[in-house]
Structure 1
Amino acid sequence: MKSASLSALAILISSTLLTGCGFAESAAPQQDKARPVKLMTIGDASSQQTRIFPARVAASQQADLAFRIGGELVNLDLIEGQKVEKGQLLAQLDERDAKNALMDAEANYELAAVDFKRKEEIYKRKLISKAEYDTAKATLKSAKAALAIARDQLDYTRLTAPFSGIVAKVALDNHQMIQPTQVVLSLQGDQLLDVQIQVPESLLLTLNNKGLSEKYQPLVRFGSRDALYPVSYKEHASKVSPGTQTYEVVFSLVRPESLNVLPGMSAELLLDMAVMNQEASSVIAVLPQTAIFRSDETQQTSVWRYNADSHKLESVEVTLGQVRAQGIEVLSGITKGDQIVAVGASVLKQDMDVKPLRWERGV
């Protein structure tokens, strides 16, 4: 009797376990066979390659002006920020000594000219020696040179504007005694400004021998303003900037009429890297190395394109360009709007069922 009870209990327990397992199997959801993949959408290559560089505004044309001679400064009536025109009188020295020297030189020249003319007539009649004639001729030449120097010295008492511009700094005051070449004022051109940026050597390598295309104009903006102003490529340095591994590239900006832009101000320059050289216009996209693989069948470099309708992958052969810091250039094979697998391309297969990878909260 006791054995029969134990057997019945064993059967009951076994039935319960089997029922529980069956319930667990029926309750388990059917697993999705589609493999999750990380996708990236090919966009506009030019917008993808636009970079923003911090920039500094500088005067395109600037000169520190000084007198060639020394003397007393008697006429300096300029203020900083004042506009001046080319040839305008900026400052003047006391010219009395220079005028007296000019009068003396004029008198000596006139005397030498008269003496030479008289001796020339006498020499023709062979009444004086050739040596006396040559001396009179040399004296006239010397007097003429001294007269030219005296006129220059008088001109040197006046400081005129070499170009139209704005007075950036006035360094002296009237009635000061100054030395030759002592800076009186600084003048900056008022038409063009330089916009300077620093670029790494990897980007400078993409410049062709003539710099940027003349048809392409990058854009610059100032502060928090939304207004953009076109600039033109001017030049780039061939020597690295001290303390850095960067090179200076300079652009020219026509001074905006609606904005008071001054040298020394900061700015941002928007540069489209797609036009940094002649071949860059053919770049469709820059893909990570993990998106590119070599096909086993054709041995061609390829990428996986996702078909949103069939949820399958298809292999697309691509032509590669240069290697960049962000990835590898793709020159052909894909178009704008294509969805490309960004990671794990080497382990995927043709016509594989996949689904876009979506991040869940907490994962």
Structure 2
Amino acid sequence: MLLLLGLGAWAEKAPAETSRPALTVSVQQVNFVDMERTLSATGNIRPWQDASVSVQTSGLRLKEVFADVGDIVQAGQLLAKFDDTIIRAEIEQTRAAIIQAQASLEQATQNAKRIRRIMGSGAVSQQEADQVLATEKINQAQLSSAQAALVGQEQRLAYTRLLAPYDGVVSAKSAVLGAVYNPGQELFHLIVQNKLQWEASVSSRHLSALEPGTKVLMHVREDLFAEGTVRQQSPALNEQTRQAIVYVDIVPGAQVKAGMFVQGDFKLGTRKVIAVPRQALVLRDGFYYVFVLENNNRVALRKIEIGQSLPNGVEVLAGLVSGEIIVVKGARFLEDGDMVRVALAASETAAGAGSVMSFARAGR
């Protein structure tokens, strides 16, 4: 009889032992938060516009260079100068030839006037008249030729001075003092207005979200960022990648250089999303789960689908609804169906907060 009573007493105590909480945990209510939507892309930083300053005359020695790589220049600023001694001598010679041609033309014009007055009177033969009139025309042509030559030589003289065509910064220089260049050879390369752009490759399905004026944050390096604004999209897609180039004007003063390859984020505004702390996530068999606290202080393992990373957690795309309570600290030590003890943190108890609890290991 005593043995049966003892077994009965043990049987009554056994369920109580199995229902003891496995852990003391902290919990948090699931709520909506504002999430900034972004679209990531990569691309090269290139000049908004380039300008080439090239040689426009031949046979002259480069005499002086006034600009170097990195110099900021203004439109019309003198960058280099060729030796113009020969051209100036040719100009003086041509001016003298013009004076001589003008004198010859004046004399020929006077002779032609006299011939025209007496033509038909028999005082002069037709052959003589034709010769005088032809001489006048020849002198007119010689004067015009000399004047045209002067214009060409003065233009060639202007070409001995290489001027900056636009405001900008010198990005490359190949000018060497004393060298003789052929027409068309580039001596300086400019980034017009020192203005850079980011050429981001974006999939066609995302292009509709990127309107002119969309803000962009480019990651130049770990501790350096550059801001920009979408200017326009390329009118055609790449046939191989099905991507388009989105052109982003970089804010002046950013510490970026042409030729960099960077990753950036397009800012697409904010939207309401459900978010959970990273500490609440449990990774099992390649999937993410959370423990949802039920009415009887038992937890249920719930599979979720996560989305974008947030500063204080992760976005939940599916598996949770706003208002549900999930386990935060201690989640990784639980199993589906465990009973837990929810305990307030001391500091939060004093403040009257009851939604976030402290974690302490308890025996089974």
**TM-score (norm. length: structure 1):** 0.57
Asked if residue 244 in structure 1 is aligned to residue 232 in structure 2, the reply is: no
Q: Alignment partner for residue 270 of structure 1, among 259, 265, 268?
A: 265
Q: Alignment partner for residue 63 of structure 1, among 51, 72, 93?
A: 51
In structure 2, relative to structure 1, the CA distance for the partners of 1:343 and 1:221 (3 Å cut) is closer
Corresponding position of 2:228: 231
> How far did residue 122 of structure 1 move?
4.3
CA distance in 1: counterparts of 2:240 and 2:56, whole angstroms: 37
> How far did residue 243 of structure 1 move?
5.7
Report the 3-state secondary structure (helix = DSSP H, G, I; strand = E; otherwise coil) of the residue aligned with 1:174.
Answer: coil
Letter in 1 for 2:178: H
Q: In the alignment, is the contact (CA less than 8 A) between 2:273 and 2:316 conserved in 1?
A: no
User: What CA deviation, in whole Å up to 9, does each residue of 1:240-294 have, x standing for no partner?
Assistant: 45863322222222431xx5432223444331235xxxxxx9x8789xxxxxxxx
CA distance in 2: counterparts of 1:341 and 1:59, whole angstroms: 40
User: What CA deviation, in whole Å up to 9, does each residue of 1:1-48 have, x standing for no partner?
Assistant: xxxxxxxxxxxxxxxxxx9xx99xx9999xxxxxxxxx9865446x1x
> How far did residue 133 of structure 1 move?
4.0
Q: In the alignment, is the contact (CA less than 8 A) between 2:229 and 2:248 conserved in 1?
A: yes
In structure 2, relative to structure 1, the CA distance for the partners of 1:236 and 1:107 (3 Å cut) is farther
Letter in 1 for 2:58: G
Letter in 2 for 1:183: E
State the identity %: 20
Letter in 2 for 1:114: A
Structure 1 unaligned blocks of 5 or more: 1-18, 30-38, 275-280, 287-309, 311-325, 327-338, 346-353
CA distance in 2: counterparts of 1:340 and 1:66, whole angstroms: 59
Q: For 1:149-298, list aligned pairs within 5 A.
A: 149-206=152-209, 212-213=212-213, 216-225=214-223, 229-241=226-238, 244-256=241-253, 260-273=255-268
Corresponding position of 1:342: 318
Q: In the alignment, is the contact (CA less than 8 A) between 1:167 and 1:186 conserved in 2?
A: yes
In structure 2, relative to structure 1, the CA distance for the partners of 1:115 and 1:264 (3 Å cut) is same
Structure 2 unaligned blocks of 5 or more: 1-7, 20-28, 118-128, 275-294, 296-306, 308-314, 336-364
More RCO (CA 8 Å, sep 6+): 2
Corresponding position of 1:52: 40
CA distance in 1: counterparts of 2:50 and 2:317, whole angstroms: 54
Corresponding position of 2:71: 82
Asked if residue 101 in structure 1 is aligned to residue 90 in structure 2, the reply is: yes
> How far did residue 177 of structure 1 move?
2.4
Q: In the alignment, is the contact (CA less than 8 A) between 1:88 and 1:160 conserved in 2?
A: yes
Q: CA RMSD in A?
A: 4.6
Q: How many residues align?
A: 272
CA distance in 1: counterparts of 2:104 and 2:163, whole angstroms: 38
